[in-house]
Amino acid sequence: MTQQNTEIDDRGHGFVRSLGTIDALFIGFGAMIGFGWVVLTGDWLTGAGTLGAILAFIVGGVIMCFVGTVYSEMVAAMPHAGGEHNYLIRAMGPKVSLFGSWAITGGYISVVMFEAVSVPKTAVYLFPNLEQIKMWTIAGSDVYLTWALVGTITAIIIAWINIRGVKLASMVQTFVVWFLIIVGLMLLAGGFTGGTIENAEPFFSGGGAGFIGVMAVVPFLFVGFDVIPQSAEEVKLPPAKIGKLVVISVIMAVAFYVIIIGTTSVAMPASELGTHDLVTADALASMFGSPIWGKIVIAGGLAGIITSWNAFLMGSSRLMWAMAAAGMIPKWFGKLHPKYRTPSNAIIFIGALSAVAPFFGTAALGWIVDAGSPAIVIAYFLVSVGFLVLRRREPNMERPLRIGGPRNGGFIIGVISSILTFILFILYLPITPVSAQLDWQSWAMFGLWLAVGVFFMFRLPTGIKAGPNAEDELLAKVKSLRRK
């Protein structure tokens, strides 16, 4: 293969197929189990009550299952790196594809940046003297040089692992996910042996606003199953099986979060939840009667950070590679490493953003979550609509995994997914009393990222129709314009 081929290959050829069933499944599941379950569980319980929080996650999980089912058919039909990019360009053309792909790339990068800030926030509980050499204060949060450098150095290491190849990244992912599963089982055992059902009261609190407040974070926490499609060209499995793994990973994540919420709620009375910063860790320590168990949960939180961070760096870099390969964004992002066959420039770009994030302090955590969530939902909505378009316009398209049976079951699933994701996006807008309340910093980050995407949209050549040849036509036209 020539040096030129290491930059932009046709239709994604050039990646190494090295991921098996467990590798792909754990990439998706691990992406959905980040850091939030360690620090946010207390907020969920106080905001909606035990059953209210569990119900919010189940409802949010059902929405994600519908979206995941749509994705399962799409990835089986189009198993190319870049996921959403491929589905949308075939269904609705280059401009919509760029907008949707850019939106979810922003969502992915927001998770990567979130984890870069989460690492030092978690580490400070293990090493209380970590905060040294104060630099500045942002939104009431003091930022220390030694604290920030922990996140920055971790960002460099994770980027280096991903540049070295997807197999190495997946090996790290698999090992850490197994540890996460063990921590989840320990919490479950603690709930049965040391918890009391009286502690779980009140079962419902906060009314509709409390329920919506918990459900609003679900897209950010559950985003990750769609990382599997981003790496489809690196999975050595039949397309239909790749699609099934998408849905299985969502079900696993729902089960994990329900277990965490349930076991934490029975560990201590609701009145004590607000006095703990890492309530899940303190819950296990309380149930087993030793602080060492809390340290193990914190280690599980760090494990969740690594799995989520690793998976989203993989997914976002492949999406940027796919957009660059189609001529949608600068071709610099389309370079594959000559030895490791990974999108190295895209990884370096995203790694640099995550390396800078810790210098904004812990205040950035909330801003990043709220900026990424609506961007993710926009992409899910567009993919759901694209699914419906392809079902109508290309009924005979080869679909190794056809959801909903031979009749209209699949179309109904697509309609439900479209409606639910649209409603979910509406919940972010400040138009109802129960809307999720986002800070102006979050809207600024969200708006700035989408504005850049719109700028790239208007630079695309016109006259290219949606269809199976849309990407080839776009790339040919872009190359023609560059020569001129």
Q: pLDDT per residue over 287-300, tens digit each?
A: 777 778 787 877 77
Write the CA distances from 201 to 104, 152, 267, integer angstroms: 38, 41, 11
Q: What is the DSSP string of 132-147?
A: -SEEEEETTEEEEHHH
Residue 224 contacts residue 311 (beta carbons within 8 Å): yes
Share of the chain above pLDDT 90, in %: 11
Take residue 475 and report the two structure tokens written for it.
């790339």
Residue 382 has pLDDT above 90, yes or no: yes
Cα dihedral angle (100, 87, 113, 141), rounded to 10 degrees? 40
Q: In terms of Cα–Cα distance, which of 102, 58, 43 is closest to 448?
A: 102
Residue 155 confidence class, pLDDT cut points 50, 70, 90: very high
The number of angstroms, rounded, from the C-alpha of 250 to the middle of its chain's C-alpha atoms is 12
Mean per-residue pLDDT for 460-481? Answer: 79
Give Cα 52 distance to the centre of its chain: 24
Please tell me the least confidently modeled range out of 83-97, 119-133, 147-161, 279-293. Answer: 279-293
Q: How far apart are CA 358 and CA 375, in angstroms?
A: 22
Beta bridge partners of 137: 142
Checking if the pLDDT of 153 tops 90, the result is: yes
Q: How many CB atoms lie within 10 A of CB 481?
A: 11
152-156, 209-213, 221-225, range with greatest mean pLDDT: 152-156
Q: Report the chain's terminal Cα–Cα distance, integer Å.
A: 27
Q: Are 119 and 305 in contact (CB under 8 A)?
A: yes
Selection from 204, 203, 195 nearest residue 268 by Cα: 195
**Minimal CA–CA distance to 254: which of 22, 445, 63, 19?**
63
pLDDT at 141: 80
Residue at token pair 């994701």? 421
- Separation between Cα atoms, residue 424 and residue 446, nearest integer Å: 16
168: pLDDT strictly greater than 90: no
Alpha helices in 195-238 (DSSP H): 207-215, 218-222, 227-230
Give the chain's count of helices (H) and strands (E): 20, 2
Q: 3-state SS of the chain: helix, strand, coil percent to 5? A: 75, 5, 25
Q: How far apart are CA 309 and CA 306, in angstroms?
A: 5
pLDDT, residue 149, reads: 94
**Neighbour tally for 257: CB within 10 Å:** 27
Note the pLDDT tens digit of each residue in 225-254: 777 766 666 666 676 677 777 788 888 888
Cα angle 407-66-317, degrees, rounded to a multiple of 5: 120
Note the pTM of the prediction, 2 decimals. 0.78
> Of 65-74, 179-188, 326-335, which gets the smallest average pLDDT?
179-188
Length of the chain counted residue by residue: 484
Categorize the per-residue pLDDT at 145 as very low, low, confident or very high, splitting at 50, 70 and 90. Answer: very high
State the Cα–Cα distance between residues 161 and 170, nearest whole angstrom: 10
State mean pLDDT over 104-122.
84
- Cα separation, 108 vs 323, whole angstroms: 15
The region of weakest confidence among 85-99, 141-155, 468-482 is 468-482
> In 3-state terms, what secondary structure has residue 15?
strand
Kindly state the average pLDDT of the residues 276-287.
Answer: 75
pLDDT digits (tens, 9 = 90+) for 404-419: 765 677 888 899 999 9
Q: pLDDT value at position 78?
A: 82
pLDDT at 323: 87
User: What residue spans define the domains of the chain?
Assistant: 20-483
At residue 1, the pLDDT reads 33
- pLDDT tens, residue by residue, 407-458: 677 888 899 999 988 887 887 776 655 445 667 777 888 888 989 999 998 8
Residue 343, SS3 per DSSP: coil
- pLDDT of 256 > 80? The answer is yes
Q: What is the pLDDT of residue 436?
A: 52
The whole-number pLDDT of residue 389 equals: 93
CA separation for the pair 184, 14 (Å, rounded): 38
Answer whether residue 217 shows pLDDT above 80.
no
Tokens for 255?
Answer: 């089960």
Task: Say if residues 294 and 278 touch (Cβ distance below 8 Å).
Answer: yes
Could you give the angle at the alpha carbon of 226 between the alpha carbons of 370 and 313, nearest 5°? 70
Q: Which of 102-116, 217-231, 333-347 has the lowest mean pLDDT?
A: 217-231
CB burial string 387-414: b at 16+ within 10 A, e below: bbbbbeebeeeebebbbeeeeeebeebb
CATH number of the structural domain 20-483: 1.20.1740.10
- How many Cβ atoms from other residues are within 10 Å of residue 335's Cβ? 18
Give the model's pLDDT for residue 481. Answer: 64
Are the C-beta atoms of 7 and 331 separated by less than 8 Å? yes
pLDDT at 4 over 50: no
Contact 60, 219 (CB under 8 A): yes
pLDDT: is 256 or 475 the higher one?
A: 256
Q: What is the pLDDT of residue 5?
A: 37
Which of the residue ranges 35-44, 240-249, 255-264, 427-436 would you say has the lowest mean pLDDT? 427-436
